[in-house]
Amino acid sequence: MTTSQDLAKQDAARRAVDLVRSGMVLGLGTGSTAKLAVDEIGRRLAAGDLHDIVGVPTSEATERQAAALGIPLSTLDRHPRVELTIDGADEVDPHGRLIKGGGGALLREKIVATASRRLAIVVDASKLVERLGATFPVPIEVTPFGWTTHLDPIRALGGEPVLRARDGTPYRTDGGNLILDVTFAGGLADPEGVAAAIRARPGVVETGLFLGFSPEVIVGHAR
């Protein structure tokens, strides 16, 4: 059954793909909404409405999807400058700050977003929050070595970390790392301060706090 949330995600994905022009180097995001955008790019390529697109995927899952759709793929090594990236988010605040990483791809997503001239974030209205962390834990990617050393310092910052697991075993990112999902009761009063304190710890690879990107946020609606 197609829900109104599915329709809203589809609407956001289509409107983001309207920003794509032939010849662009495109960052391809990860997650269910970004997946709809990748499907739409594939459709427009097949229909001949777009041509000469090169996609830089942000995860192995997106790479498989795009390859199956016949979207020509590249890497940041070959195309270090990305014109436009289309990606989803778990939360968006009124300042365009994001939580990402619900799908575990936060590291590659942040690298590709940083290499991008424009970042289009595709969401439905349920992702819009007044304060980051209000509804979604902050994912933190950490090396397996020494991961427990982060737990008490994160608690001292007001967070409650939980090791992400899938089917009873620790979840591994595409880079082979672990993810701590950190709940901040009431959300984050100072996302920049918390991000800086966590990032400063050896063994922390990246956080899902995407701050300072000034994304174009496309909120889909069920029509």
What is the contact surface with ligand 5RP in residues (CB under 6 A)? 29-34, 87-90, 100-106, 109
Active site residues: 109
Rounded Cα gap, residues 67 and 205, in angstroms: 28
Residue 181 annotated as lining a ligand binding site: no
DSSP secondary structure letter of residue 203: T
Backbone angles phi, psi at 77, to 5 degrees: -65, -40
Find the angle CA(67)-CA(33)-CA(106) to the nearest 5 degrees. 80
Contact 116, 72 (CB under 8 A): no
To ligand 5RP, the closest distance from the beta carbon of 215 in angstroms equals: 12
Q: Which is nearer to ligand 5RP, 153 or 205 (CB)?
A: 205
Residue 101 annotated as lining a ligand binding site: yes
Rounded Cα gap, residues 112 and 116, in angstroms: 6
To ligand 5RP, the closest distance from the beta carbon of 37 in angstroms equals: 10
Please provide the size of the chain in residues: 223
Contact 219, 213 (CB under 8 A): no
H/E stretch holding 7 reads helix 4-17
Contact 88, 123 (CB under 8 A): yes
What is the per-residue DSSP string for 192-216? Answer: HHHHHHHHTSTTEEEESEE-S---E
Residue 102 annotated as lining a ligand binding site: yes
Residue 35 annotated as lining a ligand binding site: no
Rounded Cα gap, residues 115 and 190, in angstroms: 25
Residue 110 annotated as lining a ligand binding site: no
To ligand 5RP, the closest distance from the beta carbon of 127 in angstroms equals: 7
User: Amino acid identity, residue 35?
Assistant: K
Q: Which is nearer to ligand 5RP, 83 or 87 (CB)?
A: 87
Q: Which is nearer to ligand 5RP, 19 or 153 (CB)?
A: 19
To ligand 5RP, the closest distance from the beta carbon of 152 in angstroms equals: 26
Residue 87 annotated as lining a ligand binding site: yes
Here the tokens at position 86 are: 């289309």
To ligand 5RP, the closest distance from the beta carbon of 88 in angstroms equals: 3
Give the residue ranges of the annotated binding site for substrate: 30-33, 87-90, 100-103, 127
Give the residue ranges of the annotated binding site: 30-33, 87-90, 100-103, 127
